[in-house]
């Protein structure tokens, strides 16, 4: 499947309007050869999951700076599960403490990025994780 591209949904859950990071990371992922769908601001978990489904994305990345991540991230995960989209790779970023990162890892957000992360590191992490997944698919499928 030489034509396959990593499709990423960059989403802004909740009411905060700080999209500088989300838009920058969207541009960086594009520059790393990925196809990026940007949701725009103020999305509910249901809207994010529905978009992920319609776009058949491989990755969902959430950006949040409102402090509501402990409420909203698990809801996004649940809304994805409900739609049979439990397989997507979940990540995100924002002002998230270490303890919160640890409990969100249990929900499925295996990697979250804090303030000051290099955007290329995020792109690289996604790239590596997806390559591993696709390799597994080939082996098993």
Partner 1 sequence: MDASGEMAARLLSGDRAALARVISWAENADARYPAVLSAIYPRVGHAWRIGITGPPGAGKSTLTNELVATLRKRDETVGILAIDPSSPFSGGALLGDRIRMEERTADTGVFIRSMASRKSHGGLARAASDACDVMDAFGFSSILMETVGVGQSEYDVVAAADTVLVVLCPGAGDGIQAMKAGILEVADVLVVNKSDLPDADRLMMDLEDAVRMRTVRQEEGGWVVPVVACSARDETGIDDVIAAVDAHRSWQEAADLAGTRRAKRVAQVRRVVGERLEEELWGRLGNTDRAEALLGNSVTPYDVAEDILTSVLGSARDAAQADEV
Partner 2 sequence: MSNIETEHVKNASVKAVDARATWEEAMRGAKLRDAEFTSISGAPRKPLYTPEDARVDYANDLGYPGQFPYTRGVHPTMYRGRLWTMRQFAGFGSAQQTNERFKFLLDHGTTGLSVAFDFPTLMGYDSDSPRSLGEVGQVGVAISSLADMEVLMDGIPMGDVSTSMTINGPAPILLAFYIACGEKQGVDPKLLRGTVQNDILKEYEAQHAWLVEAEPALRMITDVMEYCSEHVPQWNTISISGYHIREAGSTAAQELAFTLANGMEYVRRGVAAGMDVDEFAPRLSFFFDAHLDFFEEIAKFRAARRIWARKMRDEFGAKNPKSWMIRFHTQTAGVSLTAQQPENNIVRTAVEALAAVLGGTQSLHTNSMDETLALPTEKSVKIALRTQQILAEEIEVTHVADPLAGSYFVEAETNRLEEEAEAYFAEIDRRGGVVPSIHSGYIQREIHHSAVIYQRAVEKGTKKVVGVNQHVEDVDAAPEIEIHRIDPAVESEQRERLAALRAKRDDAVVRSELDAIRSACKDGGNLLERFVSAAHAYCTLGEIAEVLREEFGEFHEPSIF
User: Restricting to residues 49-78, which ones interact with partner 1 according to CB under 8 A?
Assistant: 50-51, 53-56
Do 85 and 49 touch, CB atoms closer than 8 A? yes
Residue 101 φ then ψ, to 5°: -60, -40
Which of partner 2, partner 1, none interacts with 70 (beta carbon under 5 to 8 A by kind)?
partner 2
Torsion of CA 64, 65, 70, 76, to 10 degrees: -20
Tokens, residue 141: 């499928």
The radius of gyration of the chain's CA atoms, rounded to the nearest angstrom, is 14
Q: Which of 18, 47, 127, 129 binds partner 2 (CB under 8 A)?
A: 18
Do 126 and 91 touch, CB atoms closer than 8 A? yes
User: Restricting to residues 25-84, which ones interact with partner 2 according to CB under 8 A?
Assistant: 26-28, 38, 40-42, 44, 65-72, 75
Residue 99 vs 139, nearer CB to partner 1: 139
Name the site residues for partner 2 (rule: CB under 8 A).
14-20, 23-24, 26-28, 38, 40-42, 44, 65-72, 75, 95, 97, 114-116, 118-120
């Amino acid at each position: 499947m030489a034509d396959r591209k990593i499709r990423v949904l960059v989403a802004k859950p909740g009411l905060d309007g700080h999209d500088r990071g989300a838009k920058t990371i969207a541009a960086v992922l594009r520059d790393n050869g990925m196809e990026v769908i940007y949701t725009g601001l103020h999305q509910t978990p249901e809207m994010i999951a529905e978009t992920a489904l319609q776009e058949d994305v491989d990755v969902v990345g959430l950006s949040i700076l409102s402090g509501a991540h402990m409420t909203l991230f698990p809801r996004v995960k649940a809304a994805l599960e409900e739609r049979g989209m439990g397989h997507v790779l979940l990540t995100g970023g924002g002002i998230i403490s270490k303890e919160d990162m640890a409990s969100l890892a249990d929900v499925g957000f295996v990697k979250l990025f804090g303030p000051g992360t290099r955007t290329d590191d995020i792109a690289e992490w996604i790239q590596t994780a997806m390559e591993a997944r696709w390799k597994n698919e080939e082996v098993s499928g």
